[in-house]
Amino acid sequence: MKKGLIIGIIILASIIGIKQIIDVVKLRNSVQEYIVVDKEYNGAYITTTVVMSGKTFIPITNYHNEEWLIDSIGFDSEGTKRSFTFYVSEEVYNNIKKNTILTKEDIKNLK
């Protein structure tokens, strides 16, 4: 009984998660143009988490790569303002300016 309930909950959560991803993709596809409103650079950094194993503390170190982000807004087919953040390469980040208008084709070519 409990096992079936747990499996049912997992399946339901998976379906909901997949539906949300599909909705975001549909929403992104409904926007025809994006306007770059901000650019953000996050430098590389390291985080350390300490986990206890028995009576011993074990540090776990994670390295996070640097990131270049472009924040944009666009309007969907119903005229609702939508905001999107795109992760881009350093080259794209350096070549793009604020208030640049990006088309759907431009977004596909961002790397």
Count of alpha carbons within 13 angstroms of residue 80, beta-carbon side: 6
How high is the mean pLDDT of the chain?
82
**H or E element in which residue 33 lies:** strand 33-42
**Domain coordinates of the chain in residue numbers?**
1-30, 31-109
pTM over 0.85: no
DSSP notation for 44-82: -EEEEEEEEETTEEEEEEEEE--EEEEEEEEE-TT--EE
* pLDDT given at position 75: 82
More confident residue, 70 or 107: 70
pLDDT reading at 83 higher than 80: yes
Count of alpha carbons within 13 angstroms of residue 110, beta-carbon side: 22
- Tell me if residue 83 falls in helix, strand or coil: strand
